[in-house]
Amino acid sequence: MTINEHHVLGLSGGRDSAALAIYMRQSHPNLDLQYFFTDTGKELPEVYEFLIELEGFLGKPILRLNPDRDFDFWLKRFNNYLPSPQSRWCTRQLKLRPFEQWVRPWLKNGEKVCSYVAIRADEEYREGYASKQDNLIVHLPLKEAGIDKAGVIEILEGAGLGLPKYYEWRTRSGCTFCFFQQKIEWVRLMERHPEYFEQAISYEKDALNNGSPFTWSQGESLPDLARPERVEQIKADHQRRLKRIRAKYQANPLRPDSEPIDIDDLYGTAKVCLACHK
């Protein structure tokens, strides 16, 4: 008996998953891939714009998996406690849960699901989605092909897409108020999308009033971070870090001039959620 197979590729609106989708289309054109995006409803507008551009290149729609229960629902279920690196309930409930619900009927019927995940060859510290089902197989094509960050950028440029526009000020996708943002990214969110910054402040105030031990940005509330003198301090620190790392990379002839310096390069690697940030 022939077992039905489903090939799925999750897109976050980020650089790496987009490059993986392009790579798979070019290297495996006969594979019937289903592209999907799990929409929390709290994404940056630049993410939605990039997904539309990517659909144009792929020539195939990207399925939107909308959670049946939104961020506000789960926030109340978690006693208005904000998600944090210690408690990533947002990823579990708004990203992984909709994916698992989508593929569950196939898996239950004994069908095979191949999931393609965008982990690069230069990301030894990252692990893919841990499958709990024998018939859910995770593949890492970028890692297997030896494609690193420079290779990802080359793929995007070769497809005529380039980087998502939010890379001008932020080097990861994810919700507007993602707790993995560095302080400079919060400052830039405040400057570029003040309405989303104000929404994050509102969530934070409610959480603190309900006894949440977490603020969005480690060690300080968003109103404190937004004080003019604090903003200038954050920007000055960022420029110092940028100057140091640029001086170090200038001596490296293997680093392409067009390769952007990621936030993680400046502040250390964060173990971010793959479903949100790849």
Cα separation, 95 vs 195, whole angstroms: 24
Cα-based angle 88, 89, 91 (whole degrees, multiple of 5): 75
Cα separation, 59 vs 140, whole angstroms: 23
Q: Determine the pLDDT at residue 129.
A: 54
Tell whether the torsion through CA atoms of 190, 174, 271 and 95 is positive or negative: positive
Q: Judge whether residue 250 has pLDDT over 70.
A: no
Q: Determine the pLDDT at residue 214.
A: 87
What residues contact residue 141 under an 8 Å CB cut-off, 6+ apart?
20, 23, 24, 27, 116
- Of 70, 48, 75, nearest to 202 by C-alpha is 75
Tell me which of 13-22, 127-136, 153-162, 219-228 is least confident.
Answer: 127-136
DSSP line for 240-260:
HHHHHHHHHHHT-TTS-TTPP
Q: Judge whether residue 29 has pLDDT over 60.
A: yes
Q: Judge whether residue 216 has pLDDT over 70.
A: yes
Instruction: Report the interhelical angle of 194-209 vs 183-192 (nearest 10°).
Output: 120
Residue with tokens 């729609």: 61
Model pLDDT for residues 120-140, shown as the tens digit of each residue: 998 875 555 556 778 999 999
What is the length of the chain? 278
Residue with tokens 């659909």: 55
Q: Are the beta carbons of 9 and 21 closer than 8 angstroms?
A: yes
**Which secondary-structure segment (H or E) carries 160?**
none
Q: Determine the pLDDT at residue 255.
A: 47
For residues 254 and 278, which has the higher predicted lDDT (pLDDT)? 278
Q: Determine the pLDDT at residue 125.
A: 55
What are the percentages of helix, strand and coil residues in the chain, rounded to 5? 50, 10, 40
Cα separation, 164 vs 155, whole angstroms: 13
Please give the sequence-ordered ranges of beta strands (E in DSSP) within 117-166, or none if there are none: 136-139
Cα-based angle 37, 12, 79 (whole degrees, multiple of 5): 85
Q: Judge whether residue 253 has pLDDT over 60.
A: no
Q: Judge whether residue 167 has pLDDT over 60.
A: yes
Q: Judge whether residue 6 has pLDDT over 80.
A: yes
DSSP conformation class of 94: I
Max Cα–Cα distance, the chain, nearest Å = 69
Q: Determine the pLDDT at residue 104.
A: 94
Instruction: List the strands of the sheet with 5-10, edge to edge.
Output: 63-65, 33-38, 5-10, 112-116, 136-139
Please give the sequence-ordered ranges of beta strands (E in DSSP) within 118-242, or none if there are none: 136-139
State pTM to two decimals: 0.88
Q: Judge whether residue 113 has pLDDT over 90.
A: yes
Q: Are the beta carbons of 257 and 246 closer than 8 angstroms?
A: no
